[in-house]
């Protein structure tokens, strides 16, 4: 296992298993950039850790079901499903919150992180926002 895989595993343990976002922030370089499907580009380790916290907090039982873990050079990639029950308010990009729905999610996702000097410098997170909202019952009836 190389450095990229070790750092990605450390991040996932901090964010998904322990919900320790101070530890999660330490996995990122100071000027790291994350690109997300819902908030666009986020710069800085503290801002990225806060984004991860806002994703996790509405799902206290959030877990990641790995389908595959990859590593090539200084890039680690995880494929799988984020699962959990929405039992706390869900923050929206506008600053508003949506009350907890009590519904469970199982949303397909993929994350790719570039690592340099034992820190993530670039992190791309992919998940289907429509699938996420649909599973929470937040899409209008068509």
What mean pLDDT do residues 45-66 have? 95
Domains, the chain, with CATH or none: 3-135 (3.10.450.50)
Q: What is the CA radius of gyration of the chain?
A: 15
pLDDT in tens, 63-95: 999 999 999 999 999 999 999 999 999 988 788
pLDDT in tens, 118-140: 999 999 999 999 999 999 999 98
Residue 85's pLDDT is what? 98
The model carries a pTM of: 0.93
pLDDT at 2 over 80: yes
Residue 95's pLDDT is what? 84
pLDDT in tens, 11-44: 999 998 899 999 999 999 999 999 999 999 999 9
Residue 142's pLDDT is what? 56
Residue 70's pLDDT is what? 97
Pairing relation of β-strands 28-36 and 119-127?
Answer: parallel
User: Which residue has tokens 């959990």?
Assistant: 84
Cα dihedral value 134, 138, 141, 142, nearest 10: -50
Q: How many CB atoms lie within 10 A of CB 18?
A: 11
Query: Residue 42 in contact with residue 55, Cβ under 8 Å?
Result: no
């Amino acid at each position: 296992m190389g450095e990229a895989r070790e750092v990605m595993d450390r991040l996932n343990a901090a964010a998904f298993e322990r919900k320790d976002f101070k530890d999660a922030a330490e996995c990122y370089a100071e000027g790291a950039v994350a690109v997300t499907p819902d908030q666009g580009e986020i710069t800085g380790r503290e801002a990225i850790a806060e984004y991860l916290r806002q994703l996790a907090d509405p799902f206290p039982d959030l877990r990641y079901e790995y389908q595959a873990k990859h590593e090539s050079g200084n890039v680690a990639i995880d494929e799988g499903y984020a699962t959990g029950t929405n039992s706390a308010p869900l923050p929206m990009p506008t600053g508003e919150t949506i009350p907890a729905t009590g519904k469970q999610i199982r949303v397909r996702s993929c994350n790719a992180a570039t690592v340099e000097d034992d820190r993530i410098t670039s992190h791309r997170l992919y998940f289907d926002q429509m699938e996420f909202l649909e599973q929470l019952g937040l899409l209008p009836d068509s």
